[in-house]
Amino acid sequence: MTKIALRLTVALLTLPLLAPTFTQAATPAKDVPPKNMIDPQRLSDITRTLSSDEFEGRAPGTAGETKTIAYLVEQFKAAGLEPAGSGGSYTQVVPLVRTQVPADASMSVTVAGKRRPLVQQQDMAALALRPVDRVQIADAALVFVGYGVSAPERGWDDYKDIDLRGKVAVYLVNDPDFEASTADDAYGKFGGKAATYYARWTYKYEEAARRGAIAALIVHETEAAAYGWKTAIAPNGEGYDIVRADPTKERLLLQSWLHRDAAVELFRGAGLDFEALKQSARSKAFRPVELKNTTFAADFPLAHTRIDSHNVIGRITGQKHPRESIMIGAHWDAYGNGEPDANGLRFRSGALDDAIGIAGTLEIARAFKQGPRPDRTVVFSAWTAEERNLLGSEYYASHPWLPLETTVANFTMDVLQPNGLARDIVLVGAGQNELESLLAQKAAGQSRVVTPDAKPERGLAFRADHFSFAKRGVPALVLMGLGGGHDLVKGGREAGDRWVSDFTAQCYHQACDRWSESWDLSGAAQDATLVYEMASQLANSRAWPQWNPDTEFKAARDSSAAQRK
Ligand SMILES: [Zn+2]
């Protein structure tokens, strides 16, 4: 998405005059949920239950998971959903592997015969996701690959003809236009400050693995990463992945953030200047640079264990087009048991992140069951291991119950705001696909407007379960209550922004993300109603929403166009 395209989209989304007429004409009666169907009180009750201590913080592979899955299966049944898990059940086993890089892992670079240790947590924030007993890399060559972007749709290729097999790829974080000025080729080619998929560390590691690299290091810079060094370090060196048929094809032996200071020193040793390299990486003509007289080594034992976790999946089979589906979901997992916080709370129970998204999913399921059976199938999902890098949805997307080629759209709710009615709905990742205009239409029906995420450089659009579908080409949209401050009926944008910054600073992923009596979930109920209305309209139409031109995932969708008629 270009900067210009983004501005145009914003202008369209926020045009208040157009929207209402458009909605009345386009909304069939089938979309309107029975009155009070999405009930704030029920949202509150379900969230309160799931985030209570009884569920022990809902960490995958724990007793808390067992209780959570039993509760969700019961709720899916009570809502009248048909099972869509494995073997006629409501669950899909998600085999996970947990690995642990020791704090004293031996890693180093050798420059012109001189060895310099790289200390875990200080110079490196390393993870190893292949389930091997020992990570051993001896004398591997290092290659600086700039931003490591291969984007044919933007006419950009940082790799040229480099062979990365058996080598260590060194990356810059973010994408080529993050720091670009008008003089650079990259200027405006990657959404300006807004992060594209190419900006994400996950993309870079996966691309390195596809190219046969043995390891990859991403130079950590706080602004470009959108978070500090401490945040980049995984607690206890713990990594999670799904169990893969051939992990060597999809995962590196070692992946790590490299502290900027260590990177500058490493490049200097190889006779290179970090800032000059960065500058060169903003040019289309950039070519990978091999670090002369420099090698990388690692040698340490790796603890790895297997965990069987579960997605919970139900459906309402469409009466006319059962193979075509609309997906609605949220993640059930949170952070489990930990050290007590200042108030002695141990369980990090994720009430807003994302028990409330599960509550919304259940309420929407109930709304669908109250109305006539939709023409297309609607699939409801409660994902595991979102907090471990979207693994539950990733697993489902590679083992789907209905083909993704004929999955019309994925709607995800990840945090809904508890501060009452809002005059707007915040959209992260604006400018991607036609679901955004559908959202604007339905929001107008609630006398609300769409407000794009104020800080798209955080890349929030890549950090929820909808993304597991988007990257495979399924048009997707996420409602994310932390995407930005809502314009609240009580207190306006100022109160909305204050809530987001307070919650993010104090309670996000912490024990104080708890249910509260003082919540007003009328706004959250309206948000869930938007999802219901969008899903219902699509489920009773022949529409196939499209990706916008020049977006990352358009090509993936277009390649299966023949299957959608
Ligand atoms: Zn979440």
CA of 390 to the centre of ligand 1 (A): 9
Percent of the chain with pLDDT over 70: 94
- Give, as one character, the DSSP assignment of residue 352: I
When pLDDT is averaged across residues 289-315 and rounded to a whole number, the result is: 97
pLDDT in tens, 79-102: 999 999 999 999 999 999 999 999
CA of 459 to the centre of ligand 1 (A): 14
CA of 312 to the centre of ligand 1 (A): 16
CA of 84 to the centre of ligand 1 (A): 23
Question: Is 297 a residue whose pLDDT tops 50?
Answer: yes
Question: Is 172 a residue whose pLDDT tops 50?
Answer: yes
Tell me the CA distances in angstroms from 27 to 22, 272, 443, one per residue in order: 9, 61, 12
Q: What distance in Å separates the CA atoms of residue 286 and residue 354, rounded to the nearest whole number? A: 42
Using pLDDT thresholds of 50, 70 and 90, give the confidence band for residue 33.
low
CA of 345 to the centre of ligand 1 (A): 20
CA of 9 to the centre of ligand 1 (A): 26
CA of 27 to the centre of ligand 1 (A): 31
Mean pLDDT value across the chain: 91
Q: What distance in Å separates the CA atoms of residue 210 and residue 526, rounded to the nearest whole number? A: 43
Q: What distance in Å separates the CA atoms of residue 355 and residue 336, rounded to the nearest whole number? A: 13
pLDDT in tens, 217-257: 999 999 888 788 987 888 788 999 999 989 999 999 999 99
Q: What distance in Å separates the CA atoms of residue 60 and residue 336, rounded to the nearest whole number? A: 8
- CA-based nearest residue to 381, from 332, 309, 318: 332
- Burial label for 78, CB within 10 Å (0-12, 13-18, 19+), is exposed
Tokens of 373: 């059976």
Which of the pair, 265 or 224, is modelled with greater confidence? Answer: 265
CA of 119 to the centre of ligand 1 (A): 31
Cβ proximity of 9 and 453 under 8 Å: no
Between 168-177, 191-200, 472-481, the lowest mean confidence (pLDDT) is in 191-200
CA of 104 to the centre of ligand 1 (A): 31
Tell me the CA distances in angstroms from 235 to 69, 99, 166, one per residue in order: 26, 12, 28
Does a cis peptide bond (omega within 30 degrees of 0) precede residue 354? yes
CA of 460 to the centre of ligand 1 (A): 11
Strands 106-111 and 321-331: unpaired
CA of 399 to the centre of ligand 1 (A): 22
Number of H helices, E strands in the chain: 17, 22
Backbone angles phi, psi at 321, to 5 degrees: -130, 70
CA of 462 to the centre of ligand 1 (A): 12
Which of the pair, 336 or 108, is modelled with greater confidence? Answer: 108
CA of 465 to the centre of ligand 1 (A): 8
CA of 350 to the centre of ligand 1 (A): 8
Tell me the CA distances in angstroms from 320 to 324, 373, 374, 375, 541, one per residue in order: 9, 10, 8, 5, 10
CA of 545 to the centre of ligand 1 (A): 25
CA of 26 to the centre of ligand 1 (A): 32
CA of 353 to the centre of ligand 1 (A): 5
CA of 388 to the centre of ligand 1 (A): 10
Backbone angles phi, psi at 289, to 5 degrees: -120, 120
- Does the CA dihedral 490-496-498-503 come out positive or negative? positive
CA of 292 to the centre of ligand 1 (A): 43
CA of 443 to the centre of ligand 1 (A): 23
CA of 467 to the centre of ligand 1 (A): 12
CA of 194 to the centre of ligand 1 (A): 21
Cβ proximity of 359 and 391 under 8 Å: no
State the Rg of the chain over Cα: 24
pLDDT in tens, 147-159: 999 998 889 999 9
- CA-based nearest residue to 58, from 314, 337, 329: 337
- pLDDT at position 342 is 84
CA of 413 to the centre of ligand 1 (A): 8
Q: Model pTM?
A: 0.86
- CA-based nearest residue to 128, from 46, 205, 22: 205
CA of 500 to the centre of ligand 1 (A): 14
CA of 478 to the centre of ligand 1 (A): 11
Which of the pair, 396 or 225, is modelled with greater confidence? Answer: 396
Tell me the CA distances in angstroms from 340 to 235, 333, 505, 541, one per residue in order: 16, 19, 17, 51
- Does the CA dihedral 325-366-369-443 come out positive or negative? negative
CA of 202 to the centre of ligand 1 (A): 17
- pLDDT at position 36 is 59
Q: What distance in Å separates the CA atoms of residue 475 and residue 410, rounded to the nearest whole number? A: 6
Q: Which domains does the chain have, with CATH numbers?
A: 3-96+306-563 (3.40.630.10), 102-301 (3.50.30.30)
Strand partners, 315: 82, 379
Using pLDDT thresholds of 50, 70 and 90, give the confidence band for residue 164.
very high
CA of 281 to the centre of ligand 1 (A): 33
Ligand 1 is an ion; its neighbours by CB within 5 Å are: 353-354, 414
